[in-house]
Amino acid sequence: MLVEIDDKIVSGDIFTDYFVCDLSKCKGACCVEGDDGAPLTREEVSLIENHLPYIKTYMSAEGKRTVEKYGVAYLDADGMPVTTLVPKSKECAFVKFNEEGVALCAIELAFKDHAIPNIKPISCSLYPIRTKQFNDYTALQVHHWSICNSACSCGLKSQTPVYKFLKEPLIRAFGSSFYDELVKIEPEIKSL
């Protein structure tokens, strides 16, 4: 099922799938696994570059070396910018592991310490929602990845639909009126 809100086409699974990140189980695997870095907009590349001196203080030594050598982003096979990966691993250059071995985002850490504005890539903040831009609209759908099985179980247990878990990033990306429409639509979707 698809729902149209303004210039957005929303897959019904953002209402019917459940999700709450469970870092104690997955250890932030989405920042370490995958074929490419996190998708970025060109504006995000500039913002990260501009705030890099602050972000670097939260990065691992290997992440800093990688960014100094290769930059904050590269172009993937589709010619779109993505975060740079540490060579010989799949981890994002902005990953910093905590004492428990959980992958944390240096960009997010800098924001939480009030060193920079919230410039964490929106693709990361919105996960597991993935967006795709078409000429006249943006499509939103849930990306299913086995490394997030514990997040799906955690969300099911707490009965937290994907869109409710992602309230803040959805508002950041598309505005509060868009989110309010999602809230209004949910009962209709769940009654089908």
Residues 85-141 have pLDDT tens digits of 999 888 999 999 999 999 999 999 999 999 999 999 999 999 999 998 888 999 999
Q: pLDDT tens, 12-31?
A: 999 999 999 998 899 999 99
- pLDDT tens, 160-184? 999 999 999 999 999 999 999 999 9
The rounded distance, in Å, linking the Cα atoms of 32 and 27 is 9
Q: Is the confidence at residue 44, as pLDDT, over 90? A: yes
Q: Which residue has the higher pLDDT, 1 or 171?
A: 171
Closest CA relative to residue 129, chosen from 167, 183, 185 = 167
DSSP-based helix, strand, coil % in the chain, nearest 5: 45, 20, 35
pLDDT of residue 133: 86
Q: Where are the domains of the chain?
A: 1-19+128-192, 37-125
Q: With a cut of 90, say whether residue 1 has pLDDT above it.
A: no
187 contacts: CB under 8 Å, gap ≥ 6? none
Q: Is the pTM of this model over 0.75?
A: yes
pLDDT at 20: 95
The beta-strand segments (E) located in 62-186 are 73-75, 81-83, 95-97, 103-105, 129-133, 138-142
